[in-house]
């Protein structure tokens, strides 16, 4: 039995988290005092960051850092850069970090941070200035024994290097341990970049064993092709899975015979997008993201679909590799201006594919 949530609760990440926490606390018969303590973050920090832009103007960005719990050790959690960052989202992500660290018995608490900005439209210099100013504003609240940031959506090892350097400048000594996910030559861990994607592949392997399925012929659709998605797709393909679909914020790819993942990774490095890869059919993001992994009886599947009278949903066996950033009801990516109509007739669909390629 799962908790029944209202639409408002489900579309608000903090309320959705709180409803599930209350449900779990009831199941565990958790002490009322602990229940109250864990229901709220220990600390919430909001900063407003003035940054000089490349064109000479000044922009003020809003940043957050939420420390949900430090009862088990220093807080631990990533920093994300996105136009959709909100305080409720950061609160929820911080609390999920607390639960995750506790479940695997790592001596850390939970934290999360974020800055409302669009990293895709900003230069490296602008991102560096945002990061260094954000770090300077939080200098009293982060540190190896207080709160250890990490990369998340829109940030990477370069971002962590800027944070480490800024923190070290303020403390007058090199402090490598202030962040994780930094470059290897600054004390980072080998394999860290691909670790989450590799974890997905391990979970997929174990799930197939549990379901009695074989890797050979197992088809996979990956939603997102950033650090997690690209590494998961690469490692799964190396193991023998067939990657038939990739969905990104600006478009998608679908090829029933399988997508050449190494070629796609190389294409994305050069073009900055997964679109226009000649070895796969281009399509709308929504089309690629909602393809169903059908069973080998298409007629039975079609009959069931018509009986249900609703559009196909994603396959029943799905796996999420990181904490979600978009929730039902959230506005779509403001950078996406196109809204191609996806025709129903097969001949029109083929023409649409060629146009998108």
Residues linked to residue 79 through DSSP beta bridges, in sequence order:
113, 151
Q: Closest Cα to residue 58, out of 159, 134, 130, 114? A: 130
Alpha-carbon gap, residue 113 to 93, rounded angstroms: 9
The CA dihedral of 181, 185, 187, 191, to the nearest 10 degrees, is 50
Q: Which residue has the tokens 């790592």?
A: 106
The two tokens of residue 320 are 């999420």
Cβ pair 211, 317 in contact under 8 A = yes
User: Strands 251-254, 75-82: parallel, antiparallel or unpaired by DSSP?
Assistant: unpaired
Cβ pair 153, 80 in contact under 8 A = yes
Helix H segments across the chain?
7-11, 13-28, 32-38, 87-103, 124-137, 157-171, 195-211, 227-239, 261-271, 285-289, 298-308, 346-356
- DSSP for 162-181, please give it: HHHHHHHHHHTS--GGG-SS
Q: Of the listed 32, 36, 100, 112, which one is catalytic?
A: 112
Whole-angstrom CA distances from 212 to 198, 207, 238 are: 21, 8, 20
Alpha-carbon gap, residue 101 to 246, rounded angstroms: 30
The two tokens of residue 141 are 């609240």
The two tokens of residue 249 are 């914020």
Q: Is 269 a residue of the active site? A: no
Those residues whose C-beta lies under 8 Å from the C-beta of residue 18, and which sit 6 or more positions away, are 39
What is the distance, to the nearest Å, from the Cα of residue 286 to the centroid of all Cα atoms in its chain? 17
Catalytic residues: 112
């Amino acid at each position: 039995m799962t908790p029944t949530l209202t639409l408002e609760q489900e579309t608000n990440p903090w309320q959705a988290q709180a409803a599930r926490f209350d449900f779990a606390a009831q199941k565990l018969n958790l002490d009322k005092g602990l229940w109250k303590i864990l229901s709220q973050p220990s600390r919430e920090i909001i900063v407003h960051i003035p940054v000089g832009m490349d064109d000479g103007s000044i922009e003020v960005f809003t940043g957050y850092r939420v420390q949900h719990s430090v009862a088990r050790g220093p807080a631990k959690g990533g920093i994300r850069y996105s136009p959709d960052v909100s305080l409720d989202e950061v609160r929820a992500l911080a609390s999920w970090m607390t639960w995750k660290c506790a479940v695997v018995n790592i001596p850390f608490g939970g934290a999360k941070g974020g800055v409302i900005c669009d990293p895709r439209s900003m230069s490296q210099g602008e991102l560096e200035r945002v990061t260094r100013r954000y770090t300077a504003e939080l200098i009293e609240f982060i540190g190896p024994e207080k709160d250890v940031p990490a990369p998340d959506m829109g940030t990477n090892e370069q971002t962590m290097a800027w944070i480490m350097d800024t923190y070290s400048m303020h403390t007058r000594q090199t402090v490598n341990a202030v962040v994780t996910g930094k470059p290897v030559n600054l004390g980072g861990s080998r394999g860290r970049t691909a670790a989450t994607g590799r974890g997905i592949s391990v979970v997929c392997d174990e799930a197939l064993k549990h379901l009695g399925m074989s890797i050979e012929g197992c088809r996979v659709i990956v939603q997102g092709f950033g650090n997690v998605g690209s590494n998961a797709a690469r490692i799964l393909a190396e193991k023998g899975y067939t990657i038939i679909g990739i969905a990104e914020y600006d478009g998608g790819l679908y090829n029933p015979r399988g997508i050449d993942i190494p070629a796609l990774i190389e294409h994305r490095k050069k073009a900055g997008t997964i679109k226009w890869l000649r070895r796969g059919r281009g399509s709308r993001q929504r089309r690629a993201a909602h393809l169903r992994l059908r069973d080998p009886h298409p007629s039975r599947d079609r009959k069931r679909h018509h009986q249900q009278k609703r559009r196909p949903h994603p396959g029943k066996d799905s796996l999420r590799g990181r904490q979600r950033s978009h929730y039902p009801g959230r506005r779509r990516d403001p950078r996406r201006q196109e809204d191609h109509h996806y025709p129903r007739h097969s001949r029109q669909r083929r023409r649409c594919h060629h146009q998108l390629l």
